[in-house]
Amino acid sequence: MSGEPEHDHGHHGHGHGHGHGSRRRSRLRHLLAPHSHDSGDKVDAALESSSRGMRVLAISFAVLMATAAVQAVIVVLSGSVALLGDTLHNLADALTAVPLAIAFSVGRRAATRRFTYGYGRAEDLAGIVIVLLIAASAAVAGYEAVERLLDPRDIRAVGAVAAAGVVGFLGNEWVARYRIKVGREIGSAALVADGLHARTDGFTSLAVLLGAGGAALGYPIADPIVGLIITVAILFVLRDAAREIYHRLMDAVDPGLIDRAEQILREVPGVARVGSVRMRWIGHALHAEVEICVPHHLTVVAAHEVAVEAEHRLMHALPRLRAATVHTDPDGPSDTDHHATLSTHR
């Protein structure tokens, strides 16, 4: 192994040469400036992710407000307390867009000397607020179900109430699918949690429909019983959302990402062994810090080239990886006597 990695990624359009002259120029360029692969594209991708998140929030907010408005009209006509509760619930769900919008806005701020990793963690704080809102929704739904179980009430205009339940379910389910889909695409746990919250509200709306059906059949007690069942369903969704946010707060990542990164590093020319690989989410972007061992006889320049190539491949192969720091250590007789660390960071 020559210690000079062959750049086998010309298809990315970076123009890495393969001759000795271009290698020398590459060495000089990497020594004089931090390595960056399409840094502008990475920043644009990060801003685009936040922009998509803001767009999702705006659209879902409008849909849920329209849903609540339709239900409010039927509440006035029917006097249904169950539908009133569902209407208020949908309104509260629409308002969860507020902390997320604030988080996306704050997360776009540039890093400072105090907040050196930027403000991406604001999304995790918003996720905590959303989890608390889901918990409050479960508490309110359970309380209303028990109250109606103890004191059943007749429902007027059952058909209109059932229609309002369908509208509430469809509106919330559409918003839930939209938020969860985009949240997973941009890597936002908070947006996924908010989508799960919308889904719980859809279940609540469905409970209104089922309760209205039971009342139409002469079983007014059906409404509170279904309400209790839906409360249990909300608690399960609460568990999933809380687990998602907890994983983010504890810097958990999919183990498959670590396996993939290790595989990529092992295939880099000049890498003798792969050491620790660590990743964490900051907002909806991944940051990685890895250690690789290179042959001990390599020069500092050659070892740096290996680190540059490793970083290059990681950045191009792992979705949503915005920054990667690669540390190099000598592998061989001298690795017990000397520890040198080089890093390349976008």
- CATH number reported for the structural domain that contains residue 292 in this entry: 3.30.70.1350
Domain boundary among 199, 216, 249: 249
- pLDDT at 334 (0 to 100): 53
Verify that 53 and 159 share a domain, yes or no. Answer: yes
Q: Closest by alpha carbon to 126, among 40, 210, 222, 193?
A: 193
- 342, 328 contact by CB (below 8 A): yes
Give the CATH number, domain containing residue 69.
1.20.1510.10
Verify that 222 and 332 share a domain, yes or no. Answer: no
Q: Which of 51-60, 220-229, 282-291 has the highest mean pLDDT?
A: 282-291
Verify that 128 and 236 share a domain, yes or no. Answer: yes
pLDDT in tens, 100-130: 788 878 888 888 999 998 898 898 898 898 8
Domain containing 307 equals: 253-336
The Cα 104–Cα 190 span in angstroms is 10
The Cα 304–Cα 343 span in angstroms is 8
Q: Establish if 178 belongs to a structural domain.
A: yes
pLDDT in tens, 244-275: 889 988 999 999 999 999 999 999 999 999 99
- pLDDT at 138 (0 to 100): 80
Q: Establish if 182 belongs to a structural domain.
A: yes
pTM: 0.69
The Cα 89–Cα 102 span in angstroms is 21
Domain boundary among 249, 269, 301: 249
Verify that 146 and 63 share a domain, yes or no. Answer: yes
pLDDT in tens, 283-326: 778 999 999 999 999 999 999 999 999 999 999 999 889 899 99
pLDDT at 8 over 70: no
The Cα 136–Cα 134 span in angstroms is 5
Domain boundary among 214, 231, 249: 249
Neighbours of 244 (CB within 10 A): 19
**Percentage of residues of the chain with pLDDT beyond 70:** 80
Q: Establish if 17 belongs to a structural domain.
A: no
Q: Establish if 127 belongs to a structural domain.
A: yes
Q: How many domains does the chain have?
A: 2
Verify that 199 and 239 share a domain, yes or no. Answer: yes
Verify that 102 and 158 share a domain, yes or no. Answer: yes
- pLDDT at 310 (0 to 100): 96
Verify that 242 and 94 share a domain, yes or no. Answer: yes
What tokens were used for 334? 């001298």
Q: Establish if 220 belongs to a structural domain.
A: yes
Verify that 221 and 280 share a domain, yes or no. Answer: no
Verify that 197 and 92 share a domain, yes or no. Answer: yes
Q: Establish if 21 belongs to a structural domain.
A: no
pLDDT at 36 over 50: no
pLDDT at 62 over 80: yes
Verify that 158 and 288 share a domain, yes or no. Answer: no
Q: Establish if 2 belongs to a structural domain.
A: no
Verify that 234 and 260 share a domain, yes or no. Answer: no
Q: Establish if 77 belongs to a structural domain.
A: yes
Verify that 155 and 278 share a domain, yes or no. Answer: no
pLDDT at 5 over 60: no
Average of per-residue pLDDT across 74-79: 78
